[in-house]
Amino acid sequence: MQMTGNTILITGGASGIGRALAERFHALGNTVIIAGRREALLEQVAAAHPGMKSAVLDIADAAAIQRFAQQLMLEYPSLNAVIHNAGIMKTEILSEGKLEDAEATIATNLLGPIHLNAALIQHLEAQPHATIMTVSSGLAFAPLSLNPTYCATKAAIHSYTQSLRYQLKDSSVQVLELIPPYVQTELTGERQANDPHAMPLEEFTSEVMRLLETQPDATEICVERVKAQRFAAENGGYDAFFKQLNDMMTAARSK
């Protein structure tokens, strides 16, 4: 990925991984637009970094995405990078038969990036250099049973990203997949943000930026801490890895 001279849209950019990446890319001199649902928080983050831009977007609303994309391209004709970071993660008890959280998760984590790509793809293809970065998860490769739809959407994002990359292989658009491990963010609440078993956000972001700079042709951005999960199937012992992960996390969340 080109590290400077970009105009970058980052969804879910007001907190967690999205905010951390926004701050790093902004510090490198890129034009960064953070987008999300929480207008006040977006404005607060942007104000703390002079020159950073913000825009309200409900990534689960297909019609809103169309309006947002049209306005974005008008205001930022040099837009050449999108980081699809927005996401939600809900605990689901499947035996309860409730679908509200599952439907919201699919709309946000899977359909949102698909709709936004569809709205921006021709604009991005017209740029001399462009990047689409999806954010999946180590849970795309070894899922956590407490969050079945979240894990399923991330597995789908991995598959979608591979297809997108192949379709755009002869274009100016580079397609990357960022695969985070369990990171100290508020994705699932305060417990995760303070969990010593999770990777510190600053450490994760520093390693990601180093990988982007030193491996410009990489297709998957995997910090060391996620590799055991990403390659659990390839390395053998998948069933044991899956059981250990789910036993550990189920026990931790029951406390």
Instruction: Specify which residues 11 forms β-bridges with.
Output: 35
Kindly state the tokens that stand for 208: 């990601």
CA 40 to chain centre: 21
Which residue intervals of the chain are DSSP H helices? 16-27, 39-47, 62-75, 100-106, 112-125, 148-167, 190-193, 201-214, 227-230, 232-235, 238-253
Torsion angle in degrees (nearest 10) through CA of 137, 142, 148, 149: 40
Question: Quick check: is 160 catalytic?
Answer: no
Q: One of 150, 166, 182, 238 is an active-site residue; which one? A: 150
Question: Which residues, 6 or more positions from 38, have their beta carbon under 8 angstroms from its beta carbon?
Answer: 14
The catalytic residues are 150
